[in-house]
Structures are given as C-alpha cells and as structure tokens.
Structure 1
Amino acid sequence: MARKAIPEYIQRRLYAESMGRCMNPACGKDLLLTNGDIVEKAHIIPHCDSADNSFENLILLCPNCHTNFDKNSAFTEEEVRIWKRERQQQVSQLFSQKFDTFEKLEELVKPLLTENKTIYESYYLNDKRKLWEKFEEKILINNQKLRFLLSKNRDLFQKHHDEYFSNLAIIDQLILHIDEFRDTRKDDEKIRTVLFPEEVNSIFGLESSLEGMLPSVESLECLICKLQNEDKFVGITLGIEDPFLIYKEHDEYVQLFLSDAPRIRQMYFSYHCLKSVGIRLGSLNFALKYLDNNHIAFKIENCQNLSNVTVKEKSFKFIYEYCLSKAELISLAPKKGLIIVNLHNWNGGSCISNEAYEQAKIMGVTLLTMDDFYVYIQNLK
C-alpha cells in the first residue's frame, strides 16, 4: 500500500517551526539554499510502525542527520522530541523580545516584511508558480518570526476604539493571516479568508497607503517639534494635492505623505503626539492649495506653527472656529495688521460674530471668512 502523503498544511507548520535550519541543535545547517533545498522530513516514530504523519511525529532534518537518526540510530526518539521543544523555546526567546520603542521593533520587523513583499511580488504576482511554492517556505519562516515579535509588542501600536482607525487592529489581522497562511491551506485550496492587510506596509514605512489626512494640525506640529529635537526634521510641503514632510532616518531621507494615515498614526503614537483637533489639516492645506493654484507664493513662518503664513509680506493666521467670538479673538492676542482667516466655512458668513468684527477694528486686524479669503487673494494677484 502506498505511503500517504504528508498534508501540505503540516509541512508548512514544520517549515515554520524549523526556521529554515536542521532541527538537530548540534547541526543547525541551513535547509533552504539558493541552489536547491536539502530539507528532509523525518518521522520520529517510524512511518512503517505508526503510519503517523502528524505534526507532532515529524521533524525537519538535513540529509546527514536524517540518515544518522533513521539508519544509524545515533539519536533516540526522546532526544529528537526534545529538539522540537528546544527549537520552540529558542525561537520564542529570540523573537519574543520586548522593546521599549516602536523604532527598535521596526528594525527587526521591516527586513522580514521587505523580504516577504519581494517574494510575493516577484513570484506570486508574476505567476511563477514553481518559484512561488519554493520561496513560500521562506515566507512561512519569516511569518513565524513576525508573529512572535508582534504578539510580544502589541502595546507599541496605535490603537483606537473604532477598528477602522486602529493600527493595533491591523496588526491583529496580520497575526490571523499568518496563522491561516501556516495552518489551513490544503493542497487543492488556494482561497484564504484573512488576506494580508496592506496597511501593515504603511505602518512600517514600506509603502504609502494614501487613505486621507488625519485632521489635527496640532498633532503634526508636535511631531515636527519632536523630529527637530532629534535633528531628524528636514522640511514640509503644504498647499499641494499630496502634502508631505521629509525627515532623516538612519542617514537616509524619508518622504512621508501626510495622507499616509497608518504610518502617520503610528508616528503620532510613538512620539506621543496625538492631540485633539484645533485646526483641521485638510482645511488648512485646501487654503494653501488655493494660493498655489493662483500662483501666489506663501511662506510658513514656523514649522511648529503651521497656521501662520506670510503672503506678499502680509501675515496670515488660519483658525478653525464654528463662530469666532469676541472673547476668542482677544485670546489670540493678534498683532496689528494680522489677517485672520476662519477655515470653518460650513456656516458661511456667520462663522465670525458681529462682536468679533467690531473688536477686530479696535485691534487693527482683518477678519476673513473663506469666501472673503478667495476675494482677498484675487485682489492680491
């Protein structure tokens, strides 16, 4: 009677367990070589005695160790079972490190994600089935490392009660994907229920996910301040369709799009910059984009105060108030000659109170609604 094949999902678990090395701790030879695999699947209790193809009865060895175990009786069954337990403990200790910063975690996670992404795009997306099936084993190994690292450091990810806005929810989905990728696919089954969440690549800065700008200008200003304190901040560009900032990371310049929501959320969280919304970034960028579209140059006076800009030697301050009151205007303590623009345009002309207009005359400042701003800019041209 023909020997029953080892189910693919069990083979996948074995690859993940081995981390690509012979399970004999005294050997540890690499099993996945560029010129061909040397991996062999050994039965702890011989198949002829047990017909047992379970994960618990199988172990991955190099050809030499397999021969020494099966034919030379160099190792006992109990010794080999200990190898499995020791490898699990070893991997757990190595990749279950607890980090105090996201940046340290990122240093280990990013190369694993990068390699997986390269394999997926090079072979799976290009319909190179044989190469994909060969290198899929490497993804299994990387995924096992990722699972340990991410599970141990869940507290380093931004979280929100609404899962749609939560990076931690994305990481939890990735862990589910890793488990399904390893355990559930049969030989003839290619459909997975939990797909790889593409936002993971954004969180770790591998690929932008342009979902839309987070609203808080104050959070962005705080992030810029923190980056400046670490001598990482290079500059910011607003007033365009896809605004971005540039910062230095490991002596390289990184372009961070402000609409790359998962990455921005993670940086705000890691740098403790999650602030409540005072001025909406999208509204500020819209106003600055209006200037740019009309070929009117503007200068942000201070990158830690993005709402203050200079246009043709005139100082503008952008605010976001449902209805600017006299008291709120006084609290701004504006200098004489300042032009204050209320970005909140949902209620039209009533976004500035009559009392505020009267107080503005006394203080020598100009108050503009967005409609007024458009007219004012046209007159500047």
Structure 2
Amino acid sequence: MILKEMNEVSRNISTKVERRICAESMGRCMNPECKVELFKDSGDIMEKAHIIPYCDTKDNSYENLIILCPNCHTNFDKNSAFSAGEVEKWKQIRKAEFERFFSKEYDTFEDLKNEVAPLLSHNQEIFENYYSENQRDLWSIFEGVILSNNKMIRSILKHNTKLIQNHSQESYSNLAIVQKFMLHIDEFEATRLSKEKIRHVLFPSEINSLFGIEPLVKDFMPSVESIESLIAVLQNKGEFELIVLGVDNPYIQVIKDSTSEKIYLNDTPRLRQMYYDYNCFRKVNVRFESLNYALKYIKSRGLNFNFLNINNLKEVKVNGIKIVFVYEYCLSKIKLLQLSPEEKCAVLNLHNWNGESCISSDAYEIAKEMKVTLLTMDKFYGYINSINQKR
C-alpha cells in the first residue's frame, strides 16, 4: 500500500487506536532490526501500516496496525521483504523489550529520579515549545513523543511505588500525586480532546516538583526540626552549602557533582520526598513559617542575623544579642528553666495565641532573676527596632 493510500484510509483509524500504537512504538520503528527514531526536529517520519492489507479486511484495529519508518513500510508493503507473520511478531518483541527495560526496580528514589526526570523534562520542553507557543501543527506531531515518554514513565513508576513517600491523608502524600499522574497518562493516551487545555489541567504540576524539574510554591512544612535534621544529613553527605532564611522563598543550597542547586523550603513535594528518603520527619516544636516571618522582620529593619550553630535554626545573634525562638502555647517557668538561656539574651515566643498571656507570670518573674528578656510577638517588633537604634 503506497503512502497516499495509507493517508486516505488512516482517516478511518480511531484516535484511541492511533494513540495506542504510537505509545507502543516508543518513538521508534517497530522493526527490531531497524528501530530508527521517528521524531525529528522538523517533524516525524512515522507511518501507520496494516499487517493484513486494509483492502482485504477493512480492519483498522490496534492488532492489525503497526508503526514503521518509511523504509520498512515500503519494504513490507511493496518489496515483500517481511511476511505478515513476521511483522505481527514485532509487536510482541517490542512489548517484551518494553517490559524488560522499564520494569526495573530501583534501590533509591535518586536512582528513580535519574530515569524519570529526563523524560518529564522532554515532555515539558515539547509542551512549552509547541503548545504554549501556539504551534499546533508541530504540537500534533510531537504529541507522539509525549505518548511514548509517558508509557515509559508510567511503567517505571508502577514498578517503584515503594520508593515514593506516602501518607494516609492524600494532601500529605507524594504517592497520591504519582497515582494521579498515572491516571493522567492513561487519559492522555486514550483520548484527544479538542480543548487541549482541559486535558493539561489534569496534569499534576506537583509531579515536576517531586522529580526536581520545576519548583512548586506551596505551604511551608511546619517542622523546623525536620529542616535541621535534613541539614545534618546533607552535611554528612558533603552536599550542604548554606541555608537562606528570612526571605519569601527560603532555601537550602546543596552541591552535587560540582553543581549547586537550591532546594526551596516551600517546594513541598520535593522537600517531603527528601524528608522521607533521609528519615528526617521530626515532631514539630517550632513552626517554620513563624520562625521565617520573625527573621524576615529582622531583615526588614536593615539588620543581619547569624546562626550560632547551623544545626540549630532556633538561635540567632542580632547586633551582638542572642535571640532564642520558641513556640509554646504558654511559655512557662518550667520550660524557661529547661531552656537555660544565657544572661542578656532574649527569648521570643512565636506562638502569640493571646498576646501577653503567651508567657506566664511565673516565667516573667524567673526571667528577671536570670537576666533574660522575654518577648511576645507584639513586643518583638519594638525590641528589634531598639536594637536597630543602638547600632
């Protein structure tokens, strides 16, 4: 069957079948002795071939269709270089190859990420270059690449769900994000909506965060102690460079393979996965959002702060004065004694649930004997301004 005839009958091939055979091909000719790439920068060379001639069967089913390059298509249809039985076996060979290559179970999430991230990046590049730039003709062509990439990603993820952080509550679960993404892949292959934006909305942007493709600004995870634990792990691995707090998008800067990268502390899916991988989930004693807010205010007054110990983010020095941050429903005398703050330092209760009542009268009394300044958030602003005036 010549190409012109093929194009005419292909109009009768259902969209579902087209997308299925395209995904099956993984972007390469299905001839196991060829496997030439079918998608080029200028377009695709993909051709849909009937295993049993359409003129004999009128069969446009998935089982009777296969993706070939132009050379193999011509050799099959016109030159009779392959029998129908041989070509039919190519589908089984490709299926077996796919299972062998993309059902591997990895030991770590980092290994999994190294396989999945390039495929996700390729998909994002295609979407941004062709769909977002309104090059719909090229988008229609290169959707085939996304179909192939998605098929590989789905199989890899399916066989490695044990490496993904999970939680019984869906909003706290990276596995829930992955499961949603796999549903999106199934829907993407099965349908081709006329309003493509509707389908794109189904893509969970959290998946790009999880695999380090693009940060996603979400709510801060609450535990300062978890961040401290992560810093300790990164230090042991020789990957920690610095932490930047007191800004809208605080981050940890890491170095790996001579490359520096920022891990934003509001890039929730990625940070959550790192906590899971490195066993860094810790009980919340001090809430990170409250701490970062206080540090932002210090900076807004033109003051700098320094951590006394990078493994303890709850103590800083500002203009020579040590400030200790706590988060207590009501700071009591017993808690203050447990802290054992040094003389002339300030202890700030970030909780601030009820103004002055956030600190007990007994705590205020013992603080005078300890020569320690106790601060609610209401008093904190004036205290920082007074430090600023003493510079």
* Fold equivalence (TM over 0.5): yes
Residue 30 of structure 1: which of 13, 16, 37 is its match? 37
What pairs up with 1:115-130 in 2 under 5 angstroms?
A: 115-130=122-137
SS of match in other structure, 1:192: helix
Q: Which residue of 1 aligns with 2:56?
A: 49
Q: Which residue of 1 aligns with 2:147?
A: 140
On the 8 A contact 2:314/2:324 being kept in 1, the answer is yes
Are positions 1:369 and 2:376 aligned together?
A: yes
Q: Normalising by structure 2, what TM-score?
A: 0.91
Q: Which residue of 1 aligns with 2:316?
A: 309
Q: Which residue of 1 aligns with 2:89?
A: 82
**CA–CA distance in structure 1, aligned partners of residues 30 and 310 of structure 2:** 55
Q: Following TM superposition, by how much is the alpha carbon of 1:159 offset from its aligned partner in structure 2, in angstroms?
A: 2.1
**CA–CA distance in structure 2, aligned partners of residues 124 and 171 of structure 1:** 24
Q: Normalising by structure 1, what TM-score?
A: 0.93
**CA–CA distance in structure 1, aligned partners of residues 127 and 36 of structure 2:** 26
- Matched-pair identity in %: 50
Q: Which residue of 2 aligns with 1:107?
A: 114
**CA–CA distance in structure 1, aligned partners of residues 70 and 301 of structure 2:** 72
**Stretch deviating more after TM superposition (28-37 or 230-239):** 28-37
Q: Following TM superposition, by how much is the alpha carbon of 1:87 offset from its aligned partner in structure 2, in angstroms?
A: 1.0
Are positions 1:359 and 2:386 aligned together?
A: no
Are positions 1:179 and 2:173 aligned together?
A: no
**Stretch deviating more after TM superposition (314-323 or 368-377):** 368-377
Residue 226 of structure 1: which of 215, 227, 233 is its match? 233
On the 8 A contact 2:39/2:46 being kept in 1, the answer is yes
Once the two structures are superposed, residues 180-239 of structure 1 have per-residue CA deviations (whole angstroms, 9 ceiling, x without a partner) of 1111226x5645386211121111222221112111101111111111111111111111
Once the two structures are superposed, residues 22-51 of structure 1 have per-residue CA deviations (whole angstroms, 9 ceiling, x without a partner) of 212122222223355332222222222221
Residue 16 of structure 2: which of 9, 12, 30 is its match? 9
On the 8 A contact 2:43/2:138 being kept in 1, the answer is no
Residue 205 of structure 2: which of 192, 198, 203 is its match? 198
Q: Which residue of 2 aligns with 1:258?
A: 265
Q: Which residue of 1 aligns with 2:293?
A: 286
CA 1:372–1:194 in 2, change beyond 3 Å: closer, same or farther? closer
Residue 344 of structure 1: which of 337, 340, 351 is its match? 351
**CA–CA distance in structure 1, aligned partners of residues 371 and 67 of structure 2:** 81
Are positions 1:207 and 2:214 aligned together?
A: yes
**CA–CA distance in structure 2, aligned partners of residues 283 and 369 of structure 1:** 12
On the 8 A contact 1:40/1:63 being kept in 2, the answer is yes
On the 8 A contact 1:338/1:365 being kept in 2, the answer is yes
Q: Following TM superposition, by how much is the alpha carbon of 1:73 offset from its aligned partner in structure 2, in angstroms?
A: 4.2
Once the two structures are superposed, residues 83-139 of structure 1 have per-residue CA deviations (whole angstroms, 9 ceiling, x without a partner) of 212211211221222112111111111111111111101110111111111111111
**CA–CA distance in structure 1, aligned partners of residues 376 and 188 of structure 2:** 55
**Stretch deviating more after TM superposition (213-222 or 47-56):** 47-56
**CA–CA distance in structure 2, aligned partners of residues 289 and 262 of structure 1:** 24
RMSD: 2.1
**Stretch deviating more after TM superposition (324-333 or 85-94):** 324-333
On the 8 A contact 2:43/2:141 being kept in 1, the answer is no
Q: Following TM superposition, by how much is the alpha carbon of 1:355 offset from its aligned partner in structure 2, in angstroms?
A: 2.1
Q: Following TM superposition, by how much is the alpha carbon of 1:72 offset from its aligned partner in structure 2, in angstroms?
A: 4.5
- For structure 1, the residue ranges without an aligned partner over 5 or more in a row are none
**CA–CA distance in structure 1, aligned partners of residues 97 and 223 of structure 2:** 44
**Stretch deviating more after TM superposition (116-125 or 88-97):** 88-97
Residue 326 of structure 2: which of 319, 328, 348 is its match? 319
On the 8 A contact 2:228/2:313 being kept in 1, the answer is yes
SS of match in other structure, 2:271: helix
Once the two structures are superposed, residues 41-70 of structure 1 have per-residue CA deviations (whole angstroms, 9 ceiling, x without a partner) of 222222222211111111112233333433
SS of match in other structure, 1:116: helix
Are positions 1:272 and 2:298 aligned together?
A: no
